[in-house]
Chains A and B, each alone.
Chain A
Amino acid sequence: MAFKVEFHKGIVKIELPDSPSMDDFTKIKKRLEDVEDISVVKVDLRKCSYIQSKVVSNIIALKKMLNEKKAKLILTNVQEGVMQLLEITNLINFVQIEKDFSSYSVDELAEFFIDPEVCDAVSDYIATHYNDEFRNKMFELLNSDDPIFKEYAILTIGKAHDVTALDTIRHALNDEVGNVNKAAILVLGWMGDEESKEEIYSFLESDFIDVAEAAAASIALLSDEDDSHKLGEFLKSPDERLRRIAIQALTLINDDDSYNFLKNHVKNETSEMVRATLAKSLSFYNKAEVADILLDLLKDESLKVREAAASSLIRINAKSKIGDILQRVTDEDSWVGYFAAKAIGELCREKTCSDYLIKVYDRVEQNVKLAIVHALGNIGINCSDFLMGLMSDKNEDIRKEALEAIYKIEKEKAVEMAERALDEDDNWVVRFKAVDILANAKPSGYQDFLRSIYEKENNRYVKEKILSVLEGL
């Protein structure tokens, strides 16, 4: 069987037969030679389960010819056996390879739904090119006995927003397979099918977490003024997972009722994981008092909750609370100070912040000191003298963090300190960071310097790091 050629707007598509011959390539090159304005040539190999090495040489020759015409060669639908040959011959690094679903029939495309590597891409392709032929196939699959076909047919119809399938998708809520239920729940949410909302509520308590989460998400998408109250009741559930899912749905609804439920629940929630979720969720509400609630949560008994509160303060860009956060850097509980300093490093770019952090540095514990040094680097106000002083601290983590902070503030100084550390610091973690800084800053003559250091370095990790930098060059 011969090859087939299609031309369309500067793109040439060539479908090779199962055993392409030298003669095929001679003819292909001849046809392409006479064509002007080619931008891309796609060679479809979907019929070739194997190709001979002479075909590989012909592909290389074709690429060379197309380079001269300033056109790109793309190999499409490459099968596993051919892919291995391209890897062995190293051609894989020189030719672009991609899937081209337009080469397949509707039935062939549907079969890809059972291939986990391409099922989502095929579904996207069908949804983008949705027509009567695809629609008929998807409707056929909705009645399939295979739950994977059913699941992907539902998702594809949902992506194409084909509301004519609404009844069948509603019916899929009764399917015995969780993934089919999940697909139906999501698609009913996307389609805005309010009639299904009550039925979807029953899936919140599903044994399958994916199904329960999909239900929460779709309820939020279909919500009206009553749903915050209904979901708020689930916050009383003894099931921690259900409380967390309810919080996610309430957060997405984001009305005043849902806010009050979440705000009040923070005080009563016993699980640290759920409180951490609440700390994050509250940051999605555009309300002035959220920053104060988060400030309180910085003192929560759980480190997870404090971390979530600090991240949320950063997320809402709580610059108006910088003064309050700064005060917490010296809290008697050092982990409060740690997360406060972390938050300051992300929120503040003012000298007042770096001055304050330097002022309290000697009064705080080691973990807070580390967070302060990190924050000083992020704030970016020049305090190199203070940071350089820390390069003689007895704690190696402080020295390493100080080096990184100097690099963020004053690259030249950091290079000087890194070179000195490689010569003098007795801890490999600091020397490792120093190599990293030289590799990023690339000062003149740094390769020679690293080579000389390599000779006398005795730590294998630092030696490997130096080698990787030099080899990278």
Chain B
Amino acid sequence: MFDVEEKAGKKIVYIKGEVNGETGLELKNNVLEIFKQIDTVILSFKNVIYMNSSGLREIIDLLKRSKRDKKELRLCEMSGDIRDMFSFTGLDKVFQIFDSESAALR
């Protein structure tokens, strides 16, 4: 469902395919584990084709928890369609969203 790589002192989680309630929960739990070792996690949406409101709810919860623990969650490389979902829900104002992985790593 996702691969994890470390770059420039940050972990990048490359999400694949579909973000729904089930995969979103798995993603959230894994990222919370990663946050135990590192302060900044970047979620790459490059290979995400499908996403629904249940998946989005898990990512909102992940952000809420990361803020509570003073961790930083960044999102990057969204297709126009996935980005539209964030804009539609106003969540583009809530998350730090970067166009490219390199911009998110800065």
Contact = CB atoms under 8 A, between A and B. Distances in A.
Interface string A158-193: 111100000000000000000000000010011010
B53 A220 contact: yes
Given A190-B90, A315-B81, A221 B67 contact: no
Interface stretch (A9-17, A21-29, A211-219, A326-334): A211-219
Interface residues of B, number: 23
The size class of the interface chain A forms with chain B is: 20 to 34
A255 B60 CA distance: 19
Interface in A247-288: 248, 252-255, 280, 283-286
Contact of A161 (B51, B64, B88): B64
Interface string B73-106: 0000001010001001111011000000000000
B89 A220 contact: yes
Contacts of B85: 252
B17 to A, nearest CB: 8
B81 A254 contact: no
A280 B79 CA distance: 14
A248 B53 CA distance: 11
Most chain B CB inside 10 Å of its own CB: which residue of A120, A161, A223 = A161
Nearest to B18: A286
A244 to B, nearest CB: 12
A214 B92 CA distance: 13
A26 B80 CA distance: 52
A9 to B, nearest CB: 15
Nearest to B85: A252
B4 to A, nearest CB: 23
A366 interface: no
B59 to A, nearest CB: 11
A190 B49 contact: no
B94 A252 contact: no
A252 B89 contact: yes
Interface in A82-106: none
Most chain A CB inside 10 Å of its own CB: which residue of B20, B52, B91 = B52
A427 interface: no
A418 interface: no
A316 B53 CA distance: 19
Most chain B CB inside 10 Å of its own CB: which residue of A158, A189, A214 = A189
Nearest to B20: A254
B13 interface: no
A317 interface: yes
A334 to B, nearest CB: 28
A190 B67 CA distance: 14
A158 B95 CA distance: 12
A284 B50 contact: yes
A213 B89 CA distance: 8
A382 B81 CA distance: 32
A234 B18 CA distance: 27
B57 A221 contact: yes
A155 interface: yes
Nearest to B68: A161
A186 B89 contact: yes
B12 to A, nearest CB: 21
B93 A155 contact: yes
Most chain B CB inside 10 Å of its own CB: which residue of A158, A213, A248, A284 = A284
A284 B81 contact: yes
Contacts of A123: 93
A124 to B, nearest CB: 8
Nearest to B82: A284
Given A221-B56, A252-B52, A254-B53, A161 B67 contact: yes
A186 B89 CA distance: 7
Contact of A316 (B49, B51, B90): B49
Contact of A217 (B64, B89, B94): B89
A221 B41 CA distance: 24
Given A161-B67, A190-B94, A221-B56, A315 B49 contact: yes
Contacts of B81: 280, 283-284, 315
Nearest to B64: A161
Interface in A185-204: 186, 189-190, 192
B56 A252 contact: yes
A254 B50 contact: yes
Contact of B53 (A214, A223, A285, A286): A223
12 contacts: A159-B94, A190-B94, A192-B57, A216-B88, A217-B89, A221-B56, A223-B53, A252-B53, A252-B88, A253-B53, A315-B79, A315-B81
Given A252-B53, A284-B51, A286-B49, 5 more contacts: A190-B89, A190-B94, A217-B90, A221-B53, A315-B81
Q: Which 9 A-B pairs have the closest CB atoms?
A: A254-B52, A186-B90, A217-B89, A220-B53, A252-B53, A286-B50, A217-B88, A161-B64, A159-B94
